[in-house]
Amino acid sequence: MIQHRSHIYGVIGEFEKPEQLVHAAAKIREAGYRYYESYTPFPVEGLPEAMGMRRNMVPLITLIGGLVGGLGGFGFQYWANVYSYPMNIAGRPLNSWPAFIPVTFELTILCASLSAVLGMLALNGLPQPHHPIFNAHRFTHASTDRFFVCIQARDKKFHLAETARFLQALAAHHVSEVHDD
Partner 1 sequence: MSAGQPPFDSPEISRLTPVLGPGHTYSSVTDKISAIVLTRPTSIGWYIGFLLAFSIFGVLNIAIGWLIMKGVGIWGINIPIGWGFAIVNFVWWIGIGHAGTLISAILFLLNQKWRTSINRFAEAMTLFAVACAGIFPLIHTGRPWYAFWMFPYPSVMGIWPQFRSPLIWDVFAVSTYGTVSLLFWFVGLIPDLATLRDRSTTKAKQIIYGMLAMGWRGSARHWHRYQSAYLLLAGLATPLVLSVHTVVSFDFSIAIVPGWHTTIFPPYFVAGAIYSGFAMVITIAIPLRKAYGLEDFITMRHLENMAKVMLATGLIVAYGYFFEFFMSLYSGNKFDVFLVRQRLHGPYAPFYYALILCNILIPQLLWFQKMRTNVVVLFLMSIVVNVGMWLERFVIIVISLTRDFMPSAWGRYSPTIWDWATFIGTMGMFVMLIFLFVRVLPAISIAEMRELVTETSEEHK
Judged by CB, which is closer to partner 1: 154, or 165?
154
Judged by CB, which is closer to partner 1: 101, or 159?
101
**Residues in CB range of 100: below 8 A, 6 or more apart:** 74, 77, 78, 81
C-beta of residue 176 within 8 angstroms of C-beta of residue 137: yes
- Which residues from 151-180 bind partner 1, rule CB under 8 A? none
In 3D space, the residue among 51, 69, 48 whose CA is nearest the CA of residue 118 turns out to be: 69
Spatial separation of the C-alpha atoms in residues 41 and 145, rounded to whole Å: 6
Using the contact rule CB under 8 A, the part of the chain among 7-15, 43-51, 155-163, 169-177 near partner 1 is: 43-51
Residue 37 interacts with partner 1 (CB under 8 A): yes or no: yes
Residue 168 identity (one-letter amino acid): Q
Site string for partner 1, 92-131 (x = CB under 8 A): ----x--xx-xx-xxx-xx-xxx-xx-xxx-xx-xxxxxx
Using the contact rule CB under 8 A, the part of the chain among 3-11, 133-141, 158-166, 167-175 near partner 1 is: 133-141
Least Å distance, CB 88 to partner 1, is 14
Sign of the dihedral through C-alpha 112, 117, 118, 121: positive
